[in-house]
């Protein structure tokens, strides 16, 4: 996701409540000795962990899922304080982590089972899915638990070991995950949180004991990590930015459709890679749809995410993020876009930016091609299905996309043409532990979750057994 997971050189990990600006915790970056200790422990633990039956590894994952469910309240409170997620959404995130661990615990052994193939020369041939070794995970702040769970759960079950570098703004969440996995019975060295610096991350990727890297973050972070990994011939999974189209071809209730679109856009205060950042609406319903979006945005007032009161909006993850997004909104308006609601950065130490509705974005504007990571709804008017599809694909990103119509066949035709990794018809997204997640183009490559989530960091090894040695036929 566009939440940037790339560390600031020599920075300490710092937890700040974005609703108040209050510093909650500061943790120094790891020493080089601690980095070496973590890598050595992960490498040593890999041999014992992969040797355990997969059912035993799955049992540990089962317990981790149970602990996510049992600790949902306390875990949710941490990320509400640490990155401003409304409390109900924070709890939903934790409960989704329980689902993810439960899914891979239950389905992992079958997904990782040997697959027989026909050997034309006789004998028996199977494709085996074997763990590869130590993996580095680089995670962002916008979903502090979920992003970790979808990377960690399948790889724990597979038998890989993990060094995890979390975002600098989420150290308390990072420590909570470490404690939970320790309590679930994950052996020492199999999972290690590491408060690494940028320079140390480069060293870790280059280390020959590390066999792969998974990053969820910005294009900038993804390009930097992929470049380092490429030099060192390491497998990489990248989940980066998105500017997903949300195409409304027709609807039986325009205002309700607009309300649903706005609620989707406001999820996690707009800080989601696969959020509906571009709403593409047919001309005959456009005016009414835009008017309802504007009413929805204008009706919200700032609120405490810990209270999660109806009719309020939460802060962004940081004051710097809010300031950056406010500047980009103003740039769009200066270039000729129309501001229908919001766009104002509130005064004070908090990170509150009014929910915003923009129209009139043209291909000549930066906002047409960039991702606006926050509570901003950009709305486009189109005349027909062909124009809708062309506009939907006019983006450097290719994460997800959704198409809505009272005629599912019409919507599916458009969805079939979307250049993205995840397309949905009459739903904002397909969400579930069993649903693969990932994109194409500048949204990255590789998949997490579902059956494909077990296939990224594996040695898909061929084992061939000939019935008789050569010369004895």
239 in active site: yes
**Distance between CA atoms of residues 104 and 54, nearest Å:** 11
How far, in Å, CA of 58 to CA of 49, rounded?
Answer: 12
CA-based diameter of the chain, in Å?
A: 85
Q: Which of 131, 138, 152 is nearest to 43 (CA)?
A: 131
Q: Name the E strands within 81-209.
A: 115-117, 124-131, 134-138, 161-165, 191-193
81, 202, 219, 273: the active-site residue:
273
CA dist., res. 244 & res. 263, Å (int)? 15
- First-to-final CA distance of the chain: 57
Backbone angles phi, psi at 461, to 5 degrees: -90, 135
CB atoms closer than 10 angstroms to residue 335: 15
* Rounded Cα distance, 389 and 415, in Å: 8
Catalytic one of 239, 370, 371, 448: 239
* C-alpha span between 57 and 49 (Å, rounded): 8
CB 402 within 8 A of CB 276: yes
Residue 128 is given by DSSP the state E
Closest by CA position to 436, among listed 170, 60, 154: 154
Task: Provide the residue count of the chain.
Answer: 473
Active site residues: 239, 273
């Amino acid at each position: 996701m566009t939440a940037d997971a790339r560390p600031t050189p020599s920075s300490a990990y710092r937890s700040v409540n974005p609703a108040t600006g209050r510093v909650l915790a500061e943790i120094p970056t790891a020493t080089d000795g601690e980095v070496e200790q973590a890598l050595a422990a992960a490498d040593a633990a890999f041999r014992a962990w992969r040797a355990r039956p997969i059912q035993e590894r799955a049992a540990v994952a089962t317990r981790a899922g149970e602990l996510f469910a049992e600790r949902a309240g306390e875990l949710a409170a941490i990320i509400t304080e640490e990155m401003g997620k409304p409390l109900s959404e924070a709890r939903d995130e934790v409960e989704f982590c329980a689902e993810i661990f439960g899914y891979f615990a239950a389905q992992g052994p079958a997904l990782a089972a040997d697959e027989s193939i026909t050997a034309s020369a006789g004998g028996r041939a199977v494709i085996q899915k074997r763990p590869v070794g130590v993996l580095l995970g680089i995670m962002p702040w916008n979903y502090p638990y979920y992003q970790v769970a979808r990377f960690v759960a399948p790889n724990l079950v597979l038998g890989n070991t993990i060094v995890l570098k979390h975002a600098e703004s989420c150290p308390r969440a990072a420590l909570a995950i470490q404690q939970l996995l320790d309590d679930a019975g994950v052996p020492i060295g199999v999972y290690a949180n590491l408060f690494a610096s940028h320079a140390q991350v480069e060293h870790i990727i280059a280390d020959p004991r590390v066999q792969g890297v998974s990053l969820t973050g910005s294009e900038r972070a993804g390009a930097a990590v992929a470049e380092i990994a490429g030099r060192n011939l390491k497998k990489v999974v990248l989940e980066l930015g998105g500017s997903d189209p949300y195409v409304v071809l027709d609807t039986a209730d325009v205002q309700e459709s607009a309300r649903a679109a706005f609620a989707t856009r406001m999820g996690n205060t707009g800080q989601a890679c696969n959020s509906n950042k571009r709403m593409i609406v047919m001309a005959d319903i456009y005016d009414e749809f835009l008017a309802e979006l504007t009413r929805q945005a204008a009706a919200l007032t700032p609120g405490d995410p810990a209270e999660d009161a109806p009719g309020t909006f939460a802060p962004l993850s940081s004051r710097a993020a809010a300031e950056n997004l406010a500047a980009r909104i103003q740039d769009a308006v200066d270039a000729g876009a129309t501001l229908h609601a919001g766009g104002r950065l509130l005064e004070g130490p908090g990170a509150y930016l009014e929910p915003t509705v923009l129209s009139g974005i043209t291909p000549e504007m930066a906002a047409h091609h960039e991702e606006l990571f926050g509570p901003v709804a950009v709305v486009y008017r189109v005349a027909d299905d062909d124009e809708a599809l062309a506009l939907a694909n006019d983006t450097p990103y290719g994460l997800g996309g959704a198409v809505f119509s009272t005629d599912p066949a019409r919507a599916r035709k458009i969805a079939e043409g979307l250049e993205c990794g995840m397309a949905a018809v009459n739903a904002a997204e397909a969400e579930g532990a069993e649903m693969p997640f990932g994109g194409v183009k500048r949204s990255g490559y590789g998949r997490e979750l579902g059956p494909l989530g077990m296939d990224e960091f594996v040695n898909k090894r061929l084992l061939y057994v000939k019935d008789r040695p050569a010369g004895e036929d």
